Chain A
Amino acid sequence: MFCSIENGAENIPYEPALDKASEGKRSLFEISRPQLHSGLFYLQPKVMQVFINGKPTHLEKSLTLEELLKNLNINRGQSFAIALNAEVIAKTQLAKTHLKDGDTLEIIRATAGG
């Protein structure tokens, strides 16, 4: 959904007016700052859905895999590995890999077995 604004317009973040029906509820969309040269601004979904170990998880914004591990309290000292959309991500790449909506993750460890 795009809206155009005139060149030279002030750089004001746009907040949609809430009617009574949505009073107290948060806006589903956050609107990023308009780019003056292109004259366009974009709506971005605030909520992303990814699947971690088979379970859907909602994220407020895109994280790197490094940040996700920190949020999950998985520390580097443990044995673990991550596959993103069925591709194993090397530990050196975790800070550079960003999650997108719809991504599927497998986060594994070594455990007791025969």
Chain B
Amino acid sequence: MSDVLKLGDRNYSSRLILGTGKYPDFQSMKKAHEISGTQLVTVAIRRIDLNDTSAESMLANIDRSKIDLLPNTAACYTAKDAILTCELAREALDTTLVKLEVIGDEKTLFPDNEQLLEAAKELVKQGFTVLPYTNDDVVVCKKLEDIGCAAVMPLGAPIGSGLGIRNPYNIKIILEQIKIPVIVDAGVGTASDAAIAMELGCDGVLMNTGIAGAKDPVKMAEAMRKAVEAGRLAYEAGRIEKKLYATASSPLEGVVGT
């Protein structure tokens, strides 16, 4: 069992990956990142508004000495768009790390697996460190692993839904069959969701809305840090079995009055 999260040639001691979207302001985003201990945050790649080309303050509120950027291909519906977005991200940010999203449906934001696999193949060929957002489906995860992705990132529930780990059994199957890191990405709503993911044996958790959308994002970021640490420790500690009936914890001999 590794005590760091290995993604490509990068090593991270924090197993909590955050986003930069939907925070009430960049100040709270910066504080949330700090208190969470995250070392990797996602960013989106978007057209510059030609009517206002002044530098955004978002990047200025990320401590690049402690935190790496993970560009995503959010809202790409085709492999072609996702690949171009990654190539642009590499040039803009001087990184080969990418969170590959190829969306298949507007309402659920579930991935289009056919296009996802096509994009992943091309990006791996180009030398990117590909972290693909995918279903909690071991068949697709195996194909992504075989293609050469650096990790698989199965969703716990739809992006931003806060429903937690809807199918822990699927995640458990993926963890048994896949050798590269497994990171739950999407659906985490509160601390226990993150802890459950880590207790199952996941290598990390990626979340955005769960923190950014909380009433107190900074407090939730702290909760998530503790949840990921607690879940990982519990997994490493080796839990007891689940039993239908009781097994007493105190000795049965020498009870007073017998």
Contacts and interface: CB of A to CB of B under 8 A. Distances in A.
| 9 closest Cβ pairs, A-B complex | A113-B44, A114-B208, A114-B19, A81-B92, A81-B91, A114-B21, A53-B47, A81-B88, A110-B43
A109 B89 contact: no
Please classify how large the interface on chain A is, using the bins under 10, 10 to 19, 20 to 34, 35 or more: 20 to 34
A112 B44 contact: yes
Given A108-B46, A114-B42, A78 B55 contact: yes
Interface of B: 19-23, 29, 42-48, 50, 53-56, 58-59, 69, 71-72, 74, 84-85, 87-93, 159-160, 208-209, 212
Nearest to B207: A114
B50 A72 contact: yes
Contact of B47 (A75, A90, A106, A112): A106
A110 to B, nearest CB: 4
B50 A109 contact: no
Contacts of A18: none
15 contacts: A53-B48, A80-B48, A82-B88, A83-B87, A108-B85, A108-B88, A109-B48, A110-B69, A110-B71, A110-B89, A110-B92, A112-B21, A112-B44, A113-B21, A113-B46
Given A86-B84, A88-B88, A110 B44 contact: yes
A85 to B, nearest CB: 11
Q: Main secondary structure on chain B at its contact with chain A?
A: mixed
Contacts of A55: 50
Interface string A79-114: 111110010111100000000000000111111111
A72 B47 CA distance: 13
Given A78-B55, A79-B59, A112 B20 contact: yes
Nearest to B72: A113
B59 A108 contact: no
Interface in A9-51: none
B37 to A, nearest CB: 18
A99 B169 CA distance: 55
B58 A111 contact: yes
A72 B55 CA distance: 12
A74 B87 CA distance: 20
B91 A90 contact: yes
